[in-house]
Structure 1
Amino acid sequence: MAAAVPRRFLRAQACLCVLCGLPAAGKSTLTRAVLGAAAERGWRAAAVSYDELIPEQAYFTEAEEHTNWKSHRQAVLQSIEQFLEQREGAVDLPSSPLINEATWQLCLRSLLQPEELNPDGAPLLFLLDDNFYYPSMRYEVYQLARKLSLGFCQVYLRCDLETCIRRNQSRPRPVPVQVIVEMEKRLDSPNPQKNPWEFRSISLNSTNDVSKSDIQRVIELISTALNNPLSPAEENTEQKEADRLKCALSVVHQADQACRRLISEAMKAARESHVPSEHMRALAPRLNECKAAFLRDLRHQFLQETRFLPEEDVDVEQVVKRAVESVFDGRKNEIISQFIDNHEKT
């Protein structure tokens, strides 16, 4: 059954709090603790678990499926936006077909408690529980908070890989270990120096149990965010250009890392093919020259052909993946083949 939004919600403060970190880092445990602390303060709080809202089959790595996965993630934020944007006294809220309807209704149940439990105008808190390992994933939440003038904050749970893997194995439905390992390599934690919009973020060491002081820090962070909602974005040409350059740098940086891995694999393959050491010494600089030329071309092409606005979501991962696989990998293979062929001829 669809939920109804009371008119009093329109006057309430609201905050979107991002909880990010590796699987089994302790996000769900922290969520439960924060929900309890929020209830003590009279806040209306809901846990938004992406794992429970998004069907398991949506998590694929193939390019065509990645778009589908992104659509599910966007559906979560669209459902929150629809809930918060109601302008009538009581409006039915059908859930998106891309998310689990029963789970979504459970998310909202705590926000729709009788008025005597939560007085008129009580703050609204959404705890978004997901890995959020790329800044672009978190930026989507920031965009929504800015659009609706909501509070926004982030909590990063810092936990070592071995502990996460060990905890994960005790789960009823553990995440494949390789998925956690790969995610740890890709995880780009909140960095206010690099991304100024992440200024309201804290990091908690969750290798051990989260302490009461940690929970207090989170509550204080959320309280500050509630009292300092974001302002809607204004047209700013200089900022747009700065964002475009920053995005280009991110693309080039990730492409450089991907190319380095491919070069390392190529050198290993050449050694296994018994390419002489003198040829190996020539192969390394040749591959690095190829990489440098590729990165220069990629940056130029991205700045010339990609129209980037702060409101748009440029999928850096997919841009890098397509460029590396369609261009650099082919050039690298040609160079390797030439060296191996020359070796076999000699």
Structure 2
Amino acid sequence: MREILLVTLVGLPASGKSSLCRTLTERSISDYAVVWIHFDNLIPLSALHPVPESDSEPSDWKHWRQVIHDCVERCIQACRNPTNQSLVTQQCRSLLPSFPPFPDDSPSNVIFLLDDNFYYSSMRHAYYLLAKRYEAGYASVVCCAALTDCMERNRVRETAVPPNVISKMHQRIEWPDPEGNRWEQHTFIVNTSKDISSETLDSLQEFLMSSSKKPFSYVAEIEQAQRREQDRKANFESILHQVDISLRSKVQVVMQSHTPQWKSKHSKQLSDLKSDTMNAIRTKILSDPSNETLEAYQREAITLFERGLEQLLSQTTLS
């Protein structure tokens, strides 16, 4: 099956995203077709660069982003199955002219470079979900440049972005969080305030090829969730079993320290006290699955049991 990778370029306007994409497309990556999707060239000028002052987006801008998203999906379907070539409409061909046709015997894998700012994580997440739907890889490349550098570069652009838009975006941008978001675990940061070295480009190229070989998958995600649930249940049962053993030992000690008459009279109460203690521990684990150790649960169980035992002894007369 062809390897497919969706790459969201993240960064401020004039941070060097398009220059990096141009460099990557000019580099030869063996067995990979690189499709550069330059949003600024595809979205009409009147709909470009809304001021990111709220979570709402101008409808025209949102419409064109959805058009591009749909075309990318059609292209992925064509990559997955050559019989789906007809899904790549004329509009998609005009929007994505670098998307190659794929005959049955084509060995090419595909890297889609999605060249936009992607300043909200929700914008990137939409392409992650698309990648997962078709078992493709997903990665982010962060173009990290100082605000002053972006402003200076923007001033000499042929079509400059309003400075207030860049300032607002700088304030509101949500950078990828590989540690907090599992879906952003494949993130590569490039310092684009200076010229990018050939070593960095080599590392980036290796990163992209590696990420394409680690596709996200609904099936795999479900299997992982099921394994985690099975492990959780096994751990839960193991903890309860060990706590039960500790309480049984405690009950045995109590019984051995009293007369046969006392044991005969209060054995059921001790059994009920043990059951109540087990239920309390069970409820605690289920309601608060913290990182407490087995020993901590055992200590808490013994403490609860001894507290109940004190109340029982205060209400009875020893024989």
Alpha-carbon distance in 1 for matches of 2:56, 2:216: 34
Q: Does 1:93 align with 2:88?
A: yes
Alpha-carbon distance in 2 for matches of 1:129, 1:90: 24
Measured on the aligned residues, the alpha-carbon RMSD in Å equals: 2.7
**Residues 172-251 of structure 1: matches in 2 within 5 Å?**
172-232=158-218, 234=222
Q: Residue 95 of structure 2: which of 70, 79, 104 is its match?
A: 104
**Residues 71-150 of structure 1: matches in 2 within 5 Å?**
71-86=63-78, 87=81, 88=83, 90-91=85-86, 93-95=88-90, 103-108=94-99, 111-112=100-101, 120-150=106-136
Change (3 A) 1:89 1:36: same
AA aligned to 1:48 is: I
CA deviation profile, 1:77-125 (whole Å, cap 9, x unmatched) = 21011122144164262255xxxx67524232xx238x7xx97221111
Conservation of the 8 A alpha-carbon contact between 2:77 and 2:84: no
CA deviation profile, 1:124-164 (whole Å, cap 9, x unmatched) = 11111111111111111101001110011111011000100
Please list every run of 5 or more consecutive structure 1 residues that lacks an aligned counterpart in the other structure: 1-10, 240-346
Conservation of the 8 A alpha-carbon contact between 1:79 and 1:95: no
Change (3 A) 1:64 1:30: closer
Conservation of the 8 A alpha-carbon contact between 2:15 and 2:193: yes
Structure whose alpha-carbon radius of gyration is higher: 2
What is aligned with 2:314? none
Conservation of the 8 A alpha-carbon contact between 1:13 and 1:121: no
Conservation of the 8 A alpha-carbon contact between 2:121 and 2:176: yes
TM-score, length of structure 1 as denominator length: 0.57
Q: Residue 26 of structure 2: which of 32, 36, 52 is its match?
A: 36
Alpha-carbon distance in 2 for matches of 1:147, 1:50: 22
Residue 168 of structure 1 aligns to a residue whose secondary structure is helix
Identity of aligned residues (%): 28
What is aligned with 1:20? 10
- 1:69 is displaced (CA, Å) by 2.1
TM-score, length of structure 2 as denominator length: 0.62
**Residues 300-339 of structure 1: matches in 2 within 5 Å?**
none
Please list every run of 5 or more consecutive structure 2 residues that lacks an aligned counterpart in the other structure: 229-319
What is aligned with 1:311? none
Alpha-carbon distance in 2 for matches of 1:36, 1:144: 26
Conservation of the 8 A alpha-carbon contact between 1:50 and 1:128: yes
Alpha-carbon distance in 2 for matches of 1:89, 1:161: 44
Q: Residue 151 of structure 1: which of 120, 133, 137 is its match?
A: 137
Change (3 A) 1:63 1:132: closer
Q: Does 1:57 align with 2:46?
A: yes
Alpha-carbon distance in 2 for matches of 1:184, 1:126: 25
Change (3 A) 1:194 1:121: same
- 1:54 is displaced (CA, Å) by 1.3
Alpha-carbon distance in 2 for matches of 1:186, 1:234: 33
Alpha-carbon distance in 2 for matches of 1:163, 1:63: 26
Change (3 A) 1:77 1:229: same
AA aligned to 1:159 is: A
